[in-house]
A and B are shown apart, each in its own frame.
Chain A
Amino acid sequence: MKHIISVLVENKFGTLNRVANMFSARGFNLASISIGETEDPEFSRMTIVTHGEDQIISQVVKQLNRLVDTVKVTDLTRQPHVERELLLMTLKLSKTQQHEIFELINVFKGKVVDIKQKSITIEVIGSPDKINTTIDIFKPYGIKELSRSGAVAIHRGE
């Protein structure tokens, strides 16, 4: 089962390496990891997406907690949360399919961030599922390059 884990860490050099290294050293699956500073520059927040049975995930959470630079570890999977991912994607642009592409961008509430004679770069924000669908739908039009941020997530407020 997919799990999304939010980790508040000390904003120090090497923290990302410690976390990533723990996953590889213990043979845990690591689907994506994203990290950025929080409102307090002393901390960063990491969002980790991993897959595994409950016993494995419980070990993942405990092993994360055991790292000295992690301050708080929360498995958001079964809690109310919002999950978003950013997709940047460059597509081939041809006169004949131009209209279809623009329509689809609207359907996915995407934005055009760059446009050239033969290519168009768009951004789409949404749940990782939506991003997967977006990629599937655009595939037939010719994807030249794409880049995904990995999921970031946060608790829903009260």
Chain B
Amino acid sequence: MHSSGQTLNGSEIFFECLRRENVEYIFGYPGGSLLKVYETLYDVKDIQHILVRHEQGATHMAEGYARATGKTGVVLVTSGPGATNTVTGIANAYMDSTPLVVFTGQVPSTLIGNDAFQEADIIGITRSITKHNFLVKDVKELAITIRKAFFLANNGRPGPVLIDMPKDILNASCAFNWPETVEIRGFKPTIKCHINQVEKAAHKIAKAKRPLLYIGGGVISANASEELKAFAIKKNIPITMTLQGLGAFPGNHPLSMGMLGMHGTYWANQAVNTCDVLIAVGARFDDRVTGKIETFAPQAYKIHNDIDPTNVDKNVKVDLPIVGDAKHFLAAILEEMPEKLENLEPWLAEIQTWREKCPLTYTADDKDLRTEFVIDEVSKQTAGNAVVVTDVGQHQMWTSQYYIFNNPRSIITSGGLGTMGFGLPAAIGAAFGIKDRPVILFCGDGGIMMNIQELVTAVHYKTPIKIFLINNSYLGMVRQWQELFHKEKYSFTDLSDSNPDFVKVAEAFGCKTFMADNPDTARDAIKKALAYNEGPVFVDFRVVKKDMVFPMVPAGGSISDMLLARLNPKTMV
């Protein structure tokens, strides 16, 4: 470690700052503008650089790592195409509020604006998908800028921050000064909730006959699971979670109703429809949750706690906004709650009748393999304690339904942006952060091809991820919408003639592989995959082709429009 006051060049300052931010891993890819940084990196031993095969992979890996650990993910890429390749990953992190700091190389300051080789205006490009971004114009500003970037990324509502570093800045020298404190005039997030508002909420909840907690990813970001458990269990209030909120409360607890929304459980959606007080915590009333705004929780007095004031009254007008950190809110509300509540047993009993009326089920036979079975089986074999990463599509929704998440930071999925190709790199990133629990990827045969190159990264670093390919030879979710809403015009969603032999592909990359096409072989393959820890294991689950995810509330629909099963049962094979 270098000491303060010592003269260092820009790239030495860069690593010195990362050290002080306790960075363990950098996900990166070298290039012309970063040669000086990689020259310095050659002798850096205390920060591990993970070489990816595409810069998009680096951003998703950093996100997987950040989501699994709660730390800030760090990305390092070169200028021009290196920088533009990170755009999807940055947008994904922005939508799902994941703390990242993305460092991009830039052409020398004197050439900026001249259409220089490998120049891109990445500051302009990423303005609307970052919390903030910086162009470093003077080496003396580098340390404070990095300090500010980490501060911004993981304070308030987390998100990605980008720092663009021109080549000449990385070569220039100055006295290194690490700012112990950081002050940003325009950034003052409200952490503590207004206590009067919390009191009001407590009184409303105490009088409620049908209260319901609607929990989002903000509870996970705030590490507020313990506070949530204490509040909900003590007050006996049922809980539904968003896709990003799953795991905030144990899925196997009787108060948990699983996910709400488009592919939420029947009973969770009925409860939303019927509740008289809705307590939204760290959730943002996304359209995939609300469906038709006018009919969302129509009887409920709505309380909304979120750290980001822009989330309040954005989609749904609420009755009681409470801006602040979820951890603070949940601790404060428990304290403010009067001892005596309404008797909630009739409400819980009503929920139970819905649960019994329309449980999540699938028909299993011993011939055909269904995704629901695979996920259910993985959930059982891992006792709900794995870190589960998904890609985007049907398998993602089935994961939300059939994997029972018992711990926070256990589902890592692209919710807001819905990025196919997110899963594989995110799983690799998560596995760098989590060594004591299995990291499992569910990914479709469409999505796996969108970042398949990262198999090299997993093999090279012997990352023990379990890649469970849900292979139905279709872009299944799009196919489902085509069947339900687009006159069965299966336009460009059938991949059966064009998909490669995935087992061979994975073998060529150096993965351990298995194939399963019925429940017996699947059960066995899962067992073997979970036992294999020498590197990545890839299982090609050849599932039925035309299965559909139910329940489903069609986009923009109300709970009353919920589809519970296929209208015209057809063969799924």
> Which residue from A18, A66, A70, A71 sits with its C-beta under 8 Å from B127?
A18
Question: Which of A10, A18, A25, A68 is packed against the most chain B CB atoms within 10 Å?
Answer: A68
CB pair B313–A59 under 8 Å, yes or no, is: yes
Q: Which residues of A contact B124 (CB under 8 A)?
A: 14, 17
Contact A68 B127, CB 8 Å, known A59-B310, A62-B309, A63-B310: no
Q: Give chain A residues whose Cβ lies under 8 Å from the Cβ of B135.
A: 13-14
Q: Give chain B nearest CB distance to A70 CB in angstroms.
A: 5
User: Which of the residues A10, A21, A66 comes within 8 Å of B310, measured between beta carbons?
Assistant: A66
Chain A, interface size category, equals: 20 to 34
Task: Kindly provide the distance from the CB of B327 to the nearest chain A CB, expressed in whole angstroms.
Answer: 21
Note all chain B residues with C-beta closer than 8 A to A55.
313, 317
The reply to whether the CB of A77 lies closer than 8 angstroms to some CB of chain B is no
Cross-interface CB contact of A68 among B128, B186, B314, cutoff 8 Å: B186
- The yes or no answer to B523 lying at the interface (CB within 8 A) is no
Q: Which of A46-71 contact B (CB under 8 A)?
A: 55, 58-59, 62-63, 65-71
The CA of A58 and the CA of B131, in the complex, are separated in Å by 20
Shortest CB distance A3–B (Å): 16
Contact of B123 among A10, A14, A68, A71 (CB under 8 A): A14
A sample of 12 more A-B contacts (CB under 8 A), given A21-B127, A68-B131, A68-B152, is A14-B124, A17-B127, A18-B127, A21-B128, A25-B128, A55-B317, A58-B313, A59-B310, A59-B313, A62-B312, A69-B186, A70-B186
Contacts of A63 in B (CB 8 A): 310
Question: What is the minimal beta-carbon distance from B356 to any residue of chain A, in angstroms?
Answer: 40
A7-46 contact mask (Cβ, 8 Å, vs B): 1 or 0: 0011001100110011001000000000000000000000
Taken together as a complex, chains A and B put the C-alpha atoms of A19 and B314 apart, in Å, by: 19
**B492 close to chain A: CB less than 8 A:** no
Q: What residues of chain B lie closer than 8 Å to A71, measured between beta carbons?
A: 185-186
Report A-chain residues with C-beta under 8 Å of the C-beta of B132: 67-69
Chain A residue with Cβ nearest B123: A14
- Closest 4 A-B residue pairs measured CB to CB? A68-B132, A62-B310, A25-B128, A71-B186
Q: For residue B152, which residues in chain A have a CB less than 8 angstroms away from its CB?
A: 68
CA distance A9 to B185 in the complex (A): 10
A22 and B186: CB pair below 8 A?
A: no
The reply to whether A59 and B127 contact each other, CB–CB distance below 8 Å, is: no
Interface residues on B, range: 10 to 19
User: Count of A-B contacts with CB under 8 A?
Assistant: 42
* B308 CB–A CB distance under 8 Å: yes
Instruction: Answer yes or no: B117 CB below 8 A from chain A CBs.
Output: no
Interface residues of A in 64-91 (CB under 8 A from B): 65-71
B567 in contact (CB, < 8 A): no
Whether B184 sits at the interface, judged by CB under 8 Å, is: yes
Asked whether any CB of chain A lies closer than 8 Å to the CB of B187, the reply is yes
Is the Cβ of B187 less than 8 Å from the Cβ of A59?
A: no
* Contact assessment for A10 and B309 in the assembled complex, using a CB-CB cutoff below 8 Å: no
What's the nearest-Cβ distance from chain B to residue A90, in Å? 34
Contact of A59 among B128, B185, B314 (CB under 8 A): B314
Q: Which residues of B from 97 to 136 have beta carbons under 8 Å from A?
A: 123-124, 127-128, 131-132, 135
Residue picked from A10, A59, A66, A70, most chain B C-beta under 10 Å: A66
Q: Which of B123, B185, B308 contacts A66 (CB 8 A)?
A: B308
Cβ distance A8 to chain B, nearest Cβ, rounded Å: 9
B318 to chain A, nearest CB (A): 12
Residue of B nearest to A15 (CB): B186
Q: State how many angstroms separate the Cβ of B135 from the closest Cβ of chain A.
A: 8
Chain B residues 313-359 with CB under 8 Å of chain A are 313-314, 317
| Distance (whole angstroms) from the CB of B97 to the closest CB of chain A | 13
Contacts of B146-162 to chain A: CB distance below 8 A: 152
- CB contacts (< 8 Å) of B308 on chain A: these are 66
Question: In angstroms, how far is the closest chain A Cβ from the Cβ of B99?
Answer: 15
CB atoms of A14 and B186 under 8 A apart: no
Which residue of A9, A17, A25, A65 contacts B309 across the interface (Cβ within 8 Å)?
A65
Residues of A near B312 (CB, < 8 A) are 62
- Cβ contact within 8 Å between B310 and A22: no
The residue in chain A whose Cβ has the minimal distance to the Cβ of B187 is A68
| Shortest Cβ distance from A72 into B: residue | B186
List 28 interface pairs A-B (beta carbons < 8 Å), by A numbering.
A9-B186, A10-B185, A10-B186, A13-B135, A14-B127, A14-B135, A17-B124, A17-B127, A21-B127, A21-B128, A22-B128, A55-B313, A55-B317, A59-B313, A59-B314, A62-B309, A63-B310, A65-B309, A66-B308, A66-B309, A67-B132, A68-B131, A68-B152, A68-B186, A69-B132, A69-B186, A70-B186, A71-B186
Say which residue of A58, A62, A67 sits within 8 Å of B186 (CB atoms): A67
CB distance from A52 to the nearest CB of B (A): 13
Inter-chain contacts of A18 with B (CB < 8 A) = 127
Enumerate chain A residues within 8 angstroms of B310, measured Cβ to Cβ.
59, 62-63, 66
A68 to B184, Cβ gap below 8 A? yes
Interface 0/1 of B68-94, CB less than 8 Å to A? 000000000000000000000000000
- Distance (whole angstroms) from the CB of A18 to the closest CB of chain B: 6
Contacts of A9 in B (CB 8 A): 186
Q: Which residues of B contact A69 (CB under 8 A)?
A: 132, 186
In the assembly, what is the distance between CA of A96 and CA of B317, in Å? 61
**CB closest residue in chain B, given A69:** B186
In the bound complex, what is the Cα–Cα distance between A59 and B312 (angstroms)? 9
Chain B residues lying within 8 Å of A70, measured Cβ to Cβ, are: 186
How far, in angstroms, from A13 to B310 measured CA to CA in the complex? 25
CA distance A69 to B185 in the complex (A): 8
Q: Please, which residues of chain B bring their CB within 8 A of the CB of A10?
A: 185-186
Chain A, residue nearest B124 (CB): A17
- Bound CA–CA A10/B187 (angstroms): 12
Q: With CB as the reference atom, state the residue of chain B lying closest to A70.
A: B186
Contacts of A22 in B (CB 8 A): 128
Q: How many angstroms from the CA of A13 to the CA of B124 in the assembled complex?
A: 11
Complexed CA–CA distance, A9 and B135 (Å): 18
Report A-chain residues with C-beta under 8 Å of the C-beta of B187.
68
- What 0/1 pattern do residues 172 to 185 of B give for CB contact below 8 A with A? 00000000000011
